[in-house]
């Protein structure tokens, strides 16, 4: 039942939050709800009880579709990430006021419910439902609150992902009619399919384009920097910490195991695209003057490495992707929180207008530097473990691709450290002269993240153990072909 409640709590909390008018009430209510979800997610990590981790209800029996949810290692981890992120987002932005707070927090909770469903669904039609349901609140969140160009930018984001989803729907229906007997939408039925090479090629592209847009990997990434820049930072956190993980998760769960022959055929292409994306995004990030755009491009680079490691198909690499999904979520959350704290205080995110902040805001500076190190994947931070494993996998696949991808770490150092330098060191500008240190709520949120970063940097074993079952079943499934 845990699986079911992980979705129901944010769903109902979200529906209730619409009717809360006061800002404090809406914040408090959603904070309570998100802590309840977090408690449940932590419980699920330690649970081995089959009844708690699986749920199966009748939905559309005549069509062969069930409301079935399941939690394996990867799902547990992402559900945990999803559950950790929302309270941290709410705490770190506790001092911000949004117009129509009831609606804002309601949509945030609904989005969390939708994404939770994506991570839990083990029926393709249900998966499609949640995939879209996560998108609709995101659309309204990005369009109602945010920068000046938000409406056209969000619209591009929506149409892009919607087109991808519809292609995936074709793929789902295509596989549905390949299942034997009374057709079925169940994930296991898709795993049991023995498709020919040509059939797999078609299905693969139908699914993969949807996921590639969501991740996003080069050249499907153009919606991402604009959307991240224009949305309110709290929403950007949801998008980049969790929503992009939907794409990676979906490739591992719905794409690679179902179409192994097609993956074997197109892996080179995807790895090359991913590596191009890594270098391309890193180079653009170096030239950015806007903090949010820089983080957006840096995020594309990190996602590119994950995608390359998945398609390299080696155990170490896949294990790295698993833990890096979590770690990247944590690190990027921290970066956005700092970006939001700076923007709230100074009303700008431009490096050219900032500088010398370290003297005025030492706490923020210390916490941010840890985040920055994690973004460069320095040893002792959590990202190091993940990136090391991923590069290891990529190296086993093709050493040239790995060598090019490793350059990205140098580039990451270049743009991340220059960001630290431009914001926190150098001359104080007019704006930063009167700077205050960050608020307690921001510090608390960041401190929690720093603890997580250092803990999993030193001792990543729990995370690896949690997800190793998924990696093993995945590799076993691919081998059956």
CA gyration radius, the chain: 21
Interface region with another protein, contact rule CB under 8 A, candidates 8-16, 144-152, 349-357, 461-469 = 144-152
How does DSSP classify residue 4? H
Torsion sign across C-alpha atoms 356, 359, 363, 365? positive
Of 122, 143, 231, 274, which lies in the binding site for another protein, with binding defined by CB under 8 A? Answer: 143
State both tokens at 427: 């001359």
> Interface with another protein includes 12 (CB under 8 A)?
no
DSSP 227-270: HHHHB-HHHHHIIIIIIHHHHHHHIIIIITTT-HHHHHHHHHHH
Size of the site for another protein (CB under 8 A): 27
Of 12, 35, 94, 174, which lies in the binding site for another protein, with binding defined by CB under 8 A? Answer: 174
State both tokens at 423: 């914001």
Distance CA 465, CA 378 (A): 22
Cβ nearer to another protein, comparing 231 with 398: 231
Of 1, 16, 36, 167, which lies in the binding site for another protein, with binding defined by CB under 8 A? Answer: 167
Q: How far is the CB of 62 from another protein (least distance, A)?
A: 6
Binding mask 92-131 for another protein (x = CB under 8 A): ------------------------------------xx--
Residues 175-214 that bind another protein (CB under 8 A): 176-177, 202
Distance CA 172, CA 60 (A): 16
Nearest in space to 293 (alpha carbons), one of 355, 351, 219, 347 = 351
Interface region with another protein, contact rule CB under 8 A, candidates 138-146, 225-233, 354-362, 371-379 = 138-146
> Interface with another protein includes 169 (CB under 8 A)?
yes
Residues in Cβ contact with 71 at an 8 Å cutoff, skipping those fewer than 6 apart: 2, 3, 44, 53, 54, 79, 120
Interface region with another protein, contact rule CB under 8 A, candidates 22-30, 78-86, 171-179, 223-231 = 171-179
Cβ nearer to another protein, comparing 174 with 346: 174
Q: How far is the CB of 364 from another protein (least distance, A)?
A: 33
Nearest in space to 296 (alpha carbons), one of 312, 316, 315, 277 = 277
Query: How many Å separate Cα 175 from the centre of its chain?
Result: 27
Interface region with another protein, contact rule CB under 8 A, candidates 165-173, 252-260, 346-354, 397-405 = 165-173
Distance CA 35, CA 460 (A): 24
Binding mask 56-85 for another protein (x = CB under 8 A): ----x-xx----------------------
Residues in Cβ contact with 60 at an 8 Å cutoff, skipping those fewer than 6 apart: 66, 125
Q: How far is the CB of 198 from another protein (least distance, A)?
A: 12
Cβ nearer to another protein, comparing 167 with 286: 167
Q: How far is the CB of 350 from another protein (least distance, A)?
A: 26
DSSP 167-189: HHHHHHHHHHTTSSSS---BHHH
Residues 214-273 that bind another protein (CB under 8 A): none
> Interface with another protein includes 132 (CB under 8 A)?
yes
Cβ nearer to another protein, comparing 151 with 451: 151
State both tokens at 258: 């179902």
Distance CA 136, CA 24 (A): 25
Interface region with another protein, contact rule CB under 8 A, candidates 155-163, 248-256, 277-285, 466-474 = 155-163
**Contact residues for another protein, defined by CB under 8 A:** 60, 62-63, 128-129, 132-133, 136, 140, 143-144, 150-151, 155, 158-159, 162-163, 166-167, 169-170, 173-174, 176-177, 202
């Amino acid at each position: 039942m845990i699986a079911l409640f992980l979705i129901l709590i944010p769903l109902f909390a979200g529906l209730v939050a619409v009717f809360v008018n006061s800002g404090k009430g809406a914040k408090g209510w959603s904070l309570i709800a998100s802590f309840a979800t977090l408690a449940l997610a932590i419980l699920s990590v330690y649970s081995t009880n089959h009844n708690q981790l699986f749920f199966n209800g009748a939905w559309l029996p005549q069509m062969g579709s069930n409301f079935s949810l399941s939690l394996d290692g990867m799902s547990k981890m992402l559900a945990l990430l999803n559950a950790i992120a929302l309270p941290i987002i709410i705490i770190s932005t506790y001092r911000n006021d949004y117009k129509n707070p009831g609606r804002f927090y309601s949509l945030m909770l609904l989005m969390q419910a939708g994404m939770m469903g994506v991570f839990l669904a083990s029926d393709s039609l249900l998966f499609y439902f949640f995939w879209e349901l996560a998108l609709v609140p995101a659309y309204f969140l990005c369009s109602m609150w945010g920068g000046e160009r938000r409406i056209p930018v969000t619209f591009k984001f929506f149409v892009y992902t919607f087109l991808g989803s519809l292609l995936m729907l074709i793929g789902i229906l295509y596989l549905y009619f390949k299942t034997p007997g009374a057709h079925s939408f169940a994930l296991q039925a898709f795993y049991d399919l023995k498709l020919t090479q040509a059939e797999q090629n078609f299905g693969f592209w139908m699914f993969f384009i949807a996921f590639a847009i969501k991740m996003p990997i080069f050249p499907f990434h153009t919606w991402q920097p604009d959307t991240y820049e224009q949305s309110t930072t709290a929403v950007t956190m949801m998008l980049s910490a969790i929503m992009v993980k939907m794409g990676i998760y979906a490739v591992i769960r719905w794409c690679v195991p179902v179409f192994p022959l097609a993956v074997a055929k197109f892996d080179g292409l995807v790895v090359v695209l991913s590596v191009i994306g890594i270098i391309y995004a890193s180079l653009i990030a170096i030239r950015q003057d806007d903090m949010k755009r820089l983080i957006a491009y840096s995020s594309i680079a990190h996602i590119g490495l994950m995608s390359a490691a998945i398609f390299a198909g080696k155990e170490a690499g896949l294990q790295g992707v698993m833990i890096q999904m979590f770690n990247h979520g944590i690190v990027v959350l921290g970066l956005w929180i700092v970006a939001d704290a700076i923007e709230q205080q100074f009303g700008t995110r431009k490096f050219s207008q900032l500088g010398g902040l370290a003297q005025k805001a030492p706490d923020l500076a210390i916490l941010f530097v840890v985040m920055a190190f994690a973004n460069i994947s320095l040893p002792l931070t959590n990202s190091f473990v993940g990136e090391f494993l991923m590069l290891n996998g990529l190296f086993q696949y093709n050493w040239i691709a790995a060598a090019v991808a490793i350059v990205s770490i140098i580039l990451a150092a270049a743009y991340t450290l220059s960001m630290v330098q431009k914001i926190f060191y150098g001359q104080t500008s007019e704006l930063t002269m009167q700077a205050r240190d960050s608020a307690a709520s921001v510090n608390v949120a960041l401190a929690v993240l720093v603890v997580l970063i250092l803990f999993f940097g030193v001792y990543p074993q729990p995370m690896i153990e949690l997800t190793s079952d998924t990696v093993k079943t995945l590799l076993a499934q691919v081998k059956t072909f």
